[in-house]
Homo-oligomer: A and B are copies of this chain.
């Protein structure tokens, strides 16, 4: 099991619009093969900062399956214009 982790910096004042778009976009990841669960978390200390956590069965479920052309294009159109800077996405595996 793999945890996808992305710290999301949203353009100032656009958090509400981002959450609205994310509420639509989340159906895309939830429908992908290998998807287990996800959550969108809002930071208490910094405005317009979020954390996206997605659990996948394998790394390739995210890096190959999810980023296939159709689903990822819709995901991008819904969400990518909110980011500044564009987020670094990393993957983790639970050790303890």
Contact = CB atoms under 8 A, between A and B. Distances in A.
A3 B44 CA distance: 10
A39 B91 contact: no
Nearest to A3: B41
A92 B26 CA distance: 19
A40 B94 CA distance: 6
A40 B19 CA distance: 27
A70 interface: no
A11 interface: no
Nearest to A15: B95
A93 B5 contact: no
A72 interface: no
A23 B94 CA distance: 13
Interface of A: 2-3, 5, 19, 22-23, 26, 39-46, 49-51, 59, 90-96
